[in-house]
Amino acid sequence: MGDTLLFDAMIYLSAAVLVVPLAQRLGLGSVLGYLLAGIIIGPFLLGFIGEEGDELLHFAEFGVVMMLFLVGLELEPRLLWRLRTPILGMGGVQVLASTAVIGMIAYFTGFQWNEALAIGMTFALSSTAIVLQTLNEKGLMKSRGGQSSFAVLLFQDIAVIPILALLPLLALGHGGGGEGGDGHGHGGGAMDGLPAYVQTLLTLGSVVFVVLAGRYLVPRLMRIVAATRQRELLTGAALLLVIAVAVLMTLVGLSPALGAFVGGVVLANSHYKHELESDLEPFKGLLLGLFFMAVGASIDFNLVANNPVLVLGLVVALLIVKAGILFAIGKSFGMGLDQNFLFSLGLAQTGEFAFVLLSFIKQEGILPGDSVALLLVVVAISMAATPLLMLFNERVLQPRFGTREKVEQSRPADTIEEQRRVIVAGFGRFGAVVGRFLGANGVRATILDNDSDRVDLLRRMGFEVYYGDATRFDLLESAGAEEAEAIIIGLPTPEQNLMLVEVVKKHFLHLHIVARSFDYMDTYDLMDAGVLHIFRDTLRNGVAAAGETLKLLGFRAYQVDRHAHRFLEHDTNALRSLAAVRQDEGEYADMVRGTVSDLEQQMKSDLGPNTYPRDYGWDSESLVKEFGEA
């Protein structure tokens, strides 16, 4: 591998860089892009990846571990507690029912009961990697369907532990099976030979250790590392953290992904949350990408070519069965139709755990090698089909059966529809405040949002709401962008905001754009895109909070008010000049170093009590000087 490592890296990265943007431009999403890239460089097309594909898959699975760590970081313990019903209820029912139904089908098609059960358990699980990545990309994580998907995936991650423990028991004296107490755990084996109760104690102990370490040890460690002021060391520490958790969990036979998730939740309240997030994000992205490529490359097209009907039949049957069960669960938990489509189609595939479980099943001798090979292909294809299913849901099902994009007006014909002058794109925390204050001034806005539960609620309250992706030209058009005067842009991510700005600038140039931004960087982007009215999320609030504090310290309220005003003015001007020179990269880097990254320095020079002009009109010093000599 040694000298080919760089060459391999080049192949993978070029495939990703070439194919993923193309897939995204075609509206297929990045996951499908990576899968396609994997298929292209895989053994059956270009042949750049050969046998090492499996190895690669194992390595890249670490991306899933990292993703769950990051998911955990976003999820405070309180939030997790609120999700306990869907996790246990929906997740439990899903795993049990899918195992039972898939197992039954396998049994009646000629498998032994133990083989059928193993298959059932393996195929009950879904792909955390594909589902979460796709939901994130579409901004649907916070919707009801997204939350429920997450809950079920979490339960499945937990369920892997008992499943791994059960499998050796299913090896009913087949040839090479059940090498004694091979325990659970696919990599480790450090605890082999220990009595069962010691193993259990060690397992529990290591979870407790992760929780305690996350609370007490890690923050201290991070502080020490941060004190060195070496950026790369912080990244290294973040990586170490995740890897260490994964290793520990593997040793005691728990799922590394689950361990990482617990570690993440414990650190969700720490100071280093954002540091960790930004450090790990790119690694996660690349590793996941690699993982998806490996999945694409692992599809054995020879097998497909030899039994096309069988393979595709199995995939379709699997998807239908799983989706059907999920749909019934969604329905009984009171999910609306389109959230339920998202939920049931999204989770219908089989996930990355199946790769682990199937190789374990083969190793234990539960199933013969050729059956396992066939099943592996089914797993991979079902995963690859997921983005397509989501697309099908978005383009075909939702418009037909989901929350209507627009509610048909059923008003008496004689009331003249008042003209909607403003469109609010994104009715989240920001958009909601904007919409309310506009409404308080008698300006009824047209709302665009892609959370169908919220859309239903708003419609019940009599708002004019369009449901769907606000960056779509046709949705904007039917929402009346042609006649409106202004659009408020407050979508959940900077990327979506920017995309919408581009669409508006291109097709509805007459609209005033009022946009919400998140931080410096996306504020520049919006400025570059020609947006004149930008409201940075925390700016005004932060200044107001500081002002309030100054008043508590005894500053005069009106003085604070005027200084706050001046501060905001200065901040805006500084940003403007920065945005203007940003084109010139070199100069930009200097400016950033001077003003933005070194925030503390900037504030010192900005707000020194003597650096701003005072309100000389209220100054009597010079008067005393000129007229004071009596």
Partner 1 sequence: MPKVLILFAHPALERSRVNQVLIQGVGDIPNVHFHDLYQHYPDFYVDVQHEQELLLMHDIIIWQHPLYWYSVPPLLKQWIDLTLEHGWAYGSKGVYLKGKRVLNVITAGGGHAAYEAGGYNGFTMHDFLRPLEQTAKLCGMEYLPPYLIHGTHRIDQAGAEKARKDYHTFLRALGAGEVDPEELKPLYYANDHRILNPVK
- Closest distance to partner 1 from the beta carbon of 420 (Å): 21
CA separation for the pair 568, 597 (Å, rounded):
18
CB 253 within 8 A of CB 203: yes
Minimum distance between the CB of residue 439 and partner 1, rounded to whole angstroms? 18
Taking the complex as a whole, the smallest distance from the CB of residue 567 to partner 1 amounts, in Å, to 12
What token pair was written down for 327?
């749909």
By beta-carbon proximity to partner 1, the closer residue of 232 and 626 is 626
Based on CB atoms, which residue is closest to partner 1, 410 or 620? 620
Q: Min. distance of Cβ 432 from partner 1 in angstroms?
A: 24
For the bound state, the minimum distance from the C-beta of residue 609 to partner 1, rounded and expressed in Å, comes to: 19
Nearer to partner 1, 286 or 564 (CB): 564
CB of 429 to partner 1, least distance (A): 25
Least distance in Å: CB of 618 to partner 1? 7
Please compute Rg for the chain using Cα positions: 29
The one-letter code for the residue type at 630 is A
Q: Following CA atoms 511, 517, 521, 523 in sequence, which dihedral angle do they give, to the nearest 10 degrees?
A: 40
Rounded-to-integer distance, Cα 551 and Cα 546, Å: 9
The smaller minimum CB distance to partner 1, of residues 597 and 622, is found at: 622
- The residue among 516 and 563 lying less far from partner 1, judged by its C-beta, is 563
CA distance 322 to 510: 48
Closer to partner 1 at the Cβ: 502 or 615? 615
Nearer to partner 1, 415 or 620 (CB): 620
Q: Which is nearer to partner 1, 388 or 568 (CB)?
A: 568
What separation in angstroms does the CA of 277 have from each of 137, 142, 226, 248? 17, 18, 15, 21
Smallest separation, CB 624 to partner 1 (Å): 10
d(CA 321, CA 17): 36
Q: Considering beta carbons, is residue 4 or 611 the nearer one to partner 1? A: 611
In terms of CB distance, is 138 or 562 closer to partner 1? 562
Nearest to 385 by CA among 208, 131, 590: 131
What minimum distance in Å lies between the beta carbon of 564 and partner 1? 10
- We find the least distance from the C-beta atom of residue 616 to partner 1, in angstroms, to be 5
Shortest Cβ 621–partner 1 spacing (Å): 9
Tokens representing residue 597 in the block: 């990254």
DSSP assignments along 40-75, one per residue: HHSTTTT--S-TTHHHHHHHHTHHHHHHHHHHHHTS
Q: What's the min distance (Å) between Cβ of 627 and partner 1?
A: 8
The residue type of 409 is: Q
Structure tokens that stand for 236 in this block: 């290294």
Planar angle of CA 350, 352, 355, nearest 5 degrees? 95
- In the complex with partner 1, the residue whose CB is nearer, 108 or 616, is 616
Tell me how far apart the alpha carbons of residues 288 and 291 are, in angstroms, rounded to a whole number: 5
**Interface contacts to partner 1, rule CB under 8 A:** 562, 565, 615-619, 622-623, 626
Instruction: Report the residue number, 108 or 618, with the smaller CB distance to partner 1.
Output: 618
State which residue, 227 or 440, has the beta carbon closest to partner 1.
440
Residue 135 C-alpha from the chain's centroid: 7
CA 535 to chain centre: 25
Q: How far is CA 75 from CA 85, 184, 265, 306, 594, in A?
A: 16, 28, 6, 46, 35
Q: How far is the CB of 617 from partner 1 (least distance, A)?
A: 4
User: For partner 1, which is the closer residue by CB, 6 or 623?
Assistant: 623
Residue 257: how many CB atoms within 10 A of its CB?
A: 29
CA distance 479 to 622: 60
Minimum gap (Å) between residue 622 Cβ and partner 1: 5
φ/ψ (deg, to 5) at 487: -130, 130
- 33 touches 132 (CB < 8 A): no
Extended strands (E) in 125-249: none
Three-class secondary structure assignment of 355-409: HHHHHHHHHCCCCCHHHHHHHHHHHHHHHHHHHHHHHHHHHHHHHHHCCCCCCCC
Smallest gap, in angstroms, from Cβ of residue 615 to partner 1? 6
Distance, in Å, from the CA atom of 406 to the CA atom of 466, rounded to the nearest integer, reads 5
Helix (H) or strand (E) holding 424: strand 422-425
How many angstroms separate the CA atoms of 479 and 447, rounded?
Answer: 8
Q: Strand pairing of 422-425 and 486-489?
A: parallel
Using CA atoms, how far apart are residues 58 and 37, in angstroms rounded to an integer?
18
Q: Are 42 and 297 within 8 A, CB to CB?
A: yes
Choose between 408 and 626: whose C-beta lies nearer to partner 1: 626
Torsional sign, CA 528, 529, 531, 536: negative
